[in-house]
A and B are shown apart, each in its own frame.
Chain A
Amino acid sequence: DTEVTQTPKHLVMGMTNKKSLKCEQHMGHRAMYWYKQKAKKPPELMFVYSYEKLSINESVPSRFSPECPNSSLLNLHLHALQPEDSALYLCASSQGLPVTQYFGPGTRLTVL
């Protein structure tokens, strides 16, 4: 099974809200990733967790806060977002480095 799941599928939030995106995989992968994708653009890496530790932060604003509670779960906590943060947020996982990354279906976020 090469499935990565993400919830919710769609999220609309105001600039003062706090929300969280969730990602889960049960493939025993030890690396997990968050990407952001704007319309008509390729995905851009935000964060990488390797063995549950943050290994890459691509200078992402602090209003995005990642969390990896265990090897199967990855969260992205959102607070005080701006309208320009509206995008498709994709989660991925991989067995090791550098090997194939498997992507979830994404959360389409709209910030009002």
Chain B
Amino acid sequence: GIQVEQSPPDLILQEGANSTLRCNFSDSVNNLQWFHQNPWGQLINLFYIPSGTKQNGRLSATTVATERYSLLYISSSQTTDSGVYFCAVVQGAQKLVFGQGTRLTINP
């Protein structure tokens, strides 16, 4: 099956810093999503980005499908950005396969 690898596994930053999270995948995909899981367990959709670049406020994402990676950029980090960030790709028609996640801690 498809392999999804995220880096770094853990990231600790001061408030106001910028960060880049990476997701590599082992096969071509037509569906890639980025999620933020907050400390209460809720998975929040950030981007549906099988290719190209999208921006939403302080967050942006880029997927280079031909090179099998995606990047999530967080600018001017806030403590509320803390949590685990997952990328996930679709295997077959329906199965969403998640990476192991990047645990982000933003200190005040």
Contact = CB atoms under 8 A, between A and B. Distances in A.
Interface string A72-112: 00000000000000001010100001111111011010000
Given A43-B98, A45-B95, A98 B90 contact: yes
A90 B44 CA distance: 12
A105 B40 contact: yes
Contacts of A45: 95-97
A90 B95 CA distance: 14
Grouping DSSP codes into helix (H, G, I), strand (E, B) and loop, the A interface class, with mixed when no group exceeds half, is strand
Given A42-B86, A98-B30, A98-B93, A90 B43 contact: yes
A103 B41 CA distance: 10
Contact of B94 (A42, A50, A88, A105): A50
Interface of A: 2, 31, 33, 37, 41-45, 48, 50, 55-56, 58, 88, 90, 92, 97-103, 105-106, 108
8 contacts: A42-B86, A42-B101, A44-B98, A45-B95, A56-B95, A100-B33, A102-B45, A103-B43
